[in-house]
Amino acid sequence: MSQGVANFGTALPHQDFPMNHQTASAPGTPGTRHARRPVRAVRAAVVLAAFALAAAACGTSDDDDADAAACDTVGYVMYGAESSPGNDSDWDTLIHTAAVATAESTGTEALFERNVAGGTLFLPAVDRLVDQGACIVFATSADYIFAVDEAAERRPDVRFLNAGGFNEWSDDSPFGVYDARMYEARFLHGVIAAGNSPSGTVGYVASTDAPEVYRGLNFFALGARFVDPDVRVLVEWTGDW
């Protein structure tokens, strides 16, 4: 694992600088640290963020277009194998549960390709799904970012949705990116961490080089800085999910 200190631009390993671009003094040194925000202000931030999360969960959007509405077979490319019964916290298990529930409620069919661990395996998996009638394909891992681009070029009649990523596409492209607003919860994590750190330093374990990981880290740092403007955020990178 590699260590660094978070900055609001990027959060790369082997960096060591505080978020305000000035070296933070040791806790307790007179006149060197800002006063922490009152508990009432912190509680207000938590309440507002909680309402934002609830509103996001209740939001709806219009149908994309008639073609998408008419699609009755949806394919899912899964990174891992089918999870064991009773495991309700695994990434692939939750995706499978949601896909089956969606299919049952909409009268559509859900197809799955599992153990697709890399880009070279992605295109054959897409071909199998499309050959079975899938007209929408969910790429359920950020690791498929580049493979999805190629698949969209090869299959312009299929709509692709990738879990996370930084791809750009035109308005008439059949490709899109979806993600949850997990960074909002990361802000609260930062608030809690900084509010309970007597040293003025908090830690964050980051996984791999992906856009959603950077978002989560930066919002954690923003939450910590809301409580303590001079807080230092130490980052450990595992290099994997």
Q: How far apart are CA 96 and CA 76, in angstroms?
A: 9
Check if 66-178 and 182-241 are the same fold.
yes
Q: What is the CA radius of gyration of the chain?
A: 21
Question: Is the CB of residue 4 less than 8 Å from the CB of residue 221?
Answer: no
Q: How far apart are CA 20 and CA 7, in angstroms?
A: 8
- Asked whether the predicted pLDDT for residue 50 surpasses 70, the reply is no
Residue 85's pLDDT is: 57
Q: How far apart are CA 34 and CA 161, in angstroms?
A: 44
Closest CA to 65 of 171, 137, 150: 171
The token pair at 202 is: 């908090």
Q: How far apart are CA 63 and CA 57, in angstroms?
A: 17
- Asked whether the predicted pLDDT for residue 29 surpasses 50, the reply is no
Domain 182-241, second-level architecture: 3-Layer(aba) Sandwich (3.40)
Let me know if domain 66-178 sits in CATH 3.40.50.2000.
no
Domain ranges of the chain: 66-178, 182-241
For the chain, the maximum distance between any two Cα atoms, rounded to a whole number of angstroms, is 70
| 74-83, 160-169, 172-181, range with greatest mean pLDDT | 74-83
- Asked whether the predicted pLDDT for residue 75 surpasses 50, the reply is yes
- Average pLDDT of 196-202? 97
- Asked whether the predicted pLDDT for residue 152 surpasses 80, the reply is yes
Query: In this predicted model, what pLDDT tens digit does every residue of 83-116 receive, in sequence order?
Result: 655 555 578 888 898 999 999 999 999 999 999 9
Residue 81's pLDDT is: 76
pLDDT bucket at 32, cuts 50 / 70 / 90: very low
> Is 210 in a helix, a strand, or coil?
coil
